[in-house]
């Protein structure tokens, strides 16, 4: 089945630094990928839709300059949390939509970001 | 639309019993729904989906019911097993807004052996 690899699974960074999270579709092409954020014991909140070769579409209230998204190929999207602060600590999850077949959505295993 | 950051409701069931998890949505333009299972520290896992032109869909041990009149979705798990313990989310896609999905609040299911 379709597999999405998300890296790193855990990261701890100092306040003020930037962190890049990668989302790769391993055995399928995905023109469209999605980035979610999840706080403990809460639901997934859609942050942005990542489109290969074009600018990402951000949900209302999500800072574009804070969460930089790059979707440079059909199998890779990256989310960079810039100038991270403790309130950015969260579980970040990506999903990828298959370009062909049943156009299914597959989620990565998530990245636990802790900003100290 | 968007998910609301509320704390998760919980459901406890005995092993072997049937579980029913509910989800309400508000947008009448939502036309595609997916149920996901999420275990602690992991990404969501697809369970079953249903489109708005259907009322019911069955999978292996799972059934999804859709009531468009009251904008309600339910997931029924037959003969619940300890491995079913997880958080369950419904996610909706809103017609003509793109391919993105918005997640509901979620329900934490605990199966008692």
pLDDT digits (tens, 9 = 90+) for B50-92: 999 999 999 999 999 999 999 999 999 999 999 999 999 999 9
Distance CA B46, CA B37 (A): 7
* Cβ-nearest to B42 among A34, A46, A110: A110
**Testing the interface with A: which of B100, B103, B104, B105 to mutate, by most A Cβ within 10 A?**
B100
Name the residue with higher pLDDT: B99 or A28.
A28
Average pLDDT of chain A is 94
| pLDDT at residue A91, as a whole number | 97
Q: Is B27 on the interface with A (CB under 8 A)?
A: no
> What's the distance, Cα to Cα, between the start and end of chain B in Å?
36
- Token digits for A69? 């998204």
A108 and B102 within 8 Å at the Cβ level: the answer is: no
Radius of gyration of chain B (CA): 14
pLDDT digits (tens, 9 = 90+) for B6-59: 467 999 999 999 999 999 998 989 999 999 999 999 999 999 999 999 999 999
Q: Scanning every residue of chain A, which has its alpha carbon at the shortest distance from the alpha carbon of B104?
A: A43
Q: Do the beta carbons of residue A107 and residue B37 sit within 8 Å?
A: no
Residues of B in contact with A109 (CB under 8 A): 42-43
Q: Which residues contact B48 (CB under 8 A, 6 or more apart)?
A: B34, B35, B57, B59, B62, B64, B75
- Token digits for B84? 């079913």
**Testing the interface with B: which of A21, A39, A44 to mutate, by most B Cβ within 10 A?**
A44
A34 and B101 within 8 Å at the Cβ level: the answer is: yes
Q: Is B113 on the interface with A (CB under 8 A)?
A: no
| pLDDT at residue A104, as a whole number | 83
B89 and A36 within 8 Å at the Cβ level: the answer is: no
Q: Scanning every residue of chain A, which has its alpha carbon at the shortest distance from the alpha carbon of B46?
A: A106
Per-residue pLDDT band for A102 (boundaries 50, 70, 90) equals: confident
Size of interface A-B (CB pairs under 8 A): 68
Among left, alpha and beta (phi > 0; psi -120 to 50; other), residue A53 is: left
Q: Scanning every residue of chain B, which has its alpha carbon at the shortest distance from the alpha carbon of A97?
A: B99
């Amino acid at each position: 089945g379709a597999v999405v690899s998300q890296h790193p699974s855990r990261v701890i960074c100092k306040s003020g630094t930037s962190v890049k999270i990668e989302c790769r579709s391993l055995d399928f092409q995905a023109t469209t990928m999605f980035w979610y954020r999840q706080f403990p014991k809460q639901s997934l909140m859609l942050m942005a839709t990542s489109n290969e070769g074009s600018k990402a579409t951000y949900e209302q209230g999500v800072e574009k300059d804070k969460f930089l998204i790059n979707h440079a190929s059909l199998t890779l999207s990256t989310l960079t949390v810039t100038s991270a602060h403790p309130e950015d600590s969260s579980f970040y999850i990506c999903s990828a939509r298959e370009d062909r077949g049943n156009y299914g959505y597959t989620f990565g295993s998530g990245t636990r970001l802790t900003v100290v | 639309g968007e998910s609301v950051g509320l704390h998760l409701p919980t459901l406890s069931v005995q092993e072997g019993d049937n579980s029913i998890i509910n989800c309400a949505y508000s947008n009448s333009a939502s036309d595609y729904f997916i149920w996901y299972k999420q275990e602690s520290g992991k990404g969501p896992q697809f369970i079953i989906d249903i489109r708005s032109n259907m009322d019911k869909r069955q999978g292996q041990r799972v059934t999804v019911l859709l009531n468009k009149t009251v904008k309600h979705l339910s997931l029924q798990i037959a003969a619940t097993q300890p491995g079913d313990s997880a958080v369950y989310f419904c996610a909706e896609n809103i017609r003509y807004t793109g391919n993105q999905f918005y997640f509901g609040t979620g329900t934490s299911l605990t199966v008692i052996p």
